[in-house]
A and B are shown apart, each in its own frame.
Chain A
């Protein structure tokens, strides 16, 4: 009996050792790519959460236009062009802000807004696609997050946000609120860096070409902004973006350098006017 008890004790000890000796086994077996993509996924979720807060602030400042037909149209054009961005993990939301101020905004995580004032100035669908593409590039390239200098020691640019959003403490919530304020201020007052704006312009042009839109239309739209800026109809835009002359000349250089000047594409003017007729 004593012998049996000893065997049982030995058996259960071995079982306990096997079961409990390495609670972290599964984690340590994860390879670098598992960890990397797991973090990326978590960071994307946090980027979306962060962007939602920034979008809420934009909607706190401007009223959203409740015109289903126009919003659906803008969403369709934006969603179509977003496929060129290479961030399929993000779902993009598009809205029209009910303001005469000419502008467009992008909040991290895929929240894109264009103002009624900008839509009124546009002459065709290619121009709308160009403006949306410009904003999409800001999201795709995480320009706001990069500007907030949230880079950590590792390669993930959003890990700083991950640290803030990952915490449930009061201090983490305060830090998040502060980040939202900074991002909102960037959109409304400070703007992104000149390089980021030029990057967005150039990539937008590439996206237009890739989707078959007329790239010249985007340049025409930029040109058309000039008199309105002078009249003070694009206050925020003039504060937050490089001058139109500068952007226009840089884009012309880009087109020449890459021999894109002969490329022609669709403008879908008729369809655009049909939808936007009531503006």
Chain B
């Protein structure tokens, strides 16, 4: 009996390790559209490839900045980016809830026109996951009296760099952006486990740090086959120049159940310079401008994977903009954020999370003669399955919701 209990406890320890092993080095590298950027773009579901006629265009389609009206300075921030992921009944009968909260100024751009040329410098934060969690479970299993965990994680990707665009006539433009890509990731995870019979303790500590430096060139094209219609296309791919990882793990187990105290201590450091491979990203967009007060836009994003174990995916987005009057506009958008992992089958084992996400956005902008102010909200929701237990095909229901409040301002120079 004692042995059986010890086995259960041991399995629980493994479970915990595996749950957190599933938190890969990247907070969410299974999705490409976790944060929408910009003023108009973010509130139209990120569908902006065929518009991009402001400094946000540096990120969506540098060709579009050739059609920007005047010089401008723009900035936007997510007043709140809150994400909640729930693994149903992951720890005994209890759900494991992960919450990420970030308050990030995620876009800044300055745009200048010179004759048929446009130049821009932009700073973008396309990914930001910040998670601070302290959880205590009392009696989560019959063999476990107390389980405490502390998790502090930050994973932020930054892009910054210049863009240039050139207009050929009034219907064709070409643009280029060269971003320097920098990613900083750190995670500290600690847990403490006490057995139900008061004879065993386990302490685990993990610290991981990763820094990535790279380049992301983006080429864009915009063409208007008809005065009310614009099509756009972009191609980009990130290439890492440097990647340095360091991981430290320490584990301490005390077992007094046999009468003879048994101690187990492990310490390990891992270093790696292996570089991730990013997908080739192609985006197409089409926008229809029936009146100065109305526009419709649709984008398709295709990601061709360069990594084994990833799938090629298509994401879709669409939006509309409507002016209530010349100084007040509202926008709507819908978008998908599909997982880049292959469809699971009977041989799929942990760690694995299969989650497709859908999102909706809404925004309001007030314009004055030289500036604009946008307030918006983006909501996403998705459900799927998570394979949490080591070597097991057993799954748990996985749901994710996020809410983002967007605040943007732009001013003419």
Contacts and interface: CB of A to CB of B under 8 A. Distances in A.
B340 interface: no
B68 to A, nearest CB: 10
Contacts of B69: 30, 34
B326 interface: yes
Contact of B225 (A21, A26, A32): A21
Nearest to B295: A31
Contacts of A29: 53, 67, 230, 289
B329 A32 contact: yes
A278 interface: no
Contact of A24 (B223, B227, B329, B367): B227
B228 A28 contact: yes
B171 A19 contact: yes
B229 to A, nearest CB: 8
A33 B326 contact: yes
A43 to B, nearest CB: 12
Given A18-B171, A25-B170, A26-B67, A31 B329 contact: yes
A22 B292 contact: no
B226 interface: yes
Contacts of B390: none
Nearest to B370: A37
A11 interface: no
Contacts of A40: 369
A68 interface: no
A23 interface: yes
B292 A24 contact: no
Contacts of A31: 292-293, 295, 321, 323, 329
A217 B292 CA distance: 49
B227 A33 contact: no
Interface of A: 17-37, 40-41, 89, 155
A36 B326 contact: yes
B259 interface: no
Contacts of B326: 32-33, 35-37, 155
Contacts of B225: 17-18, 21-22
B172 interface: yes
A22 B323 contact: no
Nearest to B325: A32
Interface in B340-393: 367, 369, 372
A89 B67 contact: no
Nearest to A88: B369
Contacts of A25: 170-171, 224, 227, 230
A17 B226 CA distance: 10
Given A22-B227, A23-B171, A31-B292, 9 more contacts: A21-B224, A22-B170, A25-B224, A25-B227, A25-B230, A29-B67, A32-B323, A33-B323, A40-B369
A216 to B, nearest CB: 35
B261 interface: no
A20 B227 CA distance: 11
Closest 3 CB pairs of A and B: A36-B326, A32-B323, A33-B367
Contacts of B292: 28, 30-32, 34-35
A30 to B, nearest CB: 6
Could you tell me the dominant secondary structure of chain A's interface residues?
Answer: helix
B23 to A, nearest CB: 43
Nearest to A25: B224
Contacts of A20: 169, 171
Given A18-B169, A19-B169, A33 B372 contact: yes
B230 to A, nearest CB: 7
A93 to B, nearest CB: 22
A198 to B, nearest CB: 28
Contacts of A30: 69, 292
A36 B230 contact: no
Interface string B133-173: 00000000000000000000000000000000000111110
A36 B171 contact: no
A22 B327 contact: no
A89 B369 contact: yes
Interface string B308-352: 000000000000010101110100000000000000000000000
Contacts of A41: 369
A23 B321 CA distance: 24
A24 B329 CA distance: 23
A28 B172 CA distance: 14
Interface string B46-65: 00000001000000000000
Contacts of B171: 18-23, 25
B375 to A, nearest CB: 16
B116 to A, nearest CB: 11
A131 B329 CA distance: 40
Contacts of A37: 326, 367, 369
A31 B326 CA distance: 8
Contacts of A24: 170, 227
B170 A23 contact: yes
B293 A32 contact: yes
A22 B223 CA distance: 10
Given A18-B171, A23-B170, A37-B367, A28 B327 contact: no
A186 B186 CA distance: 74
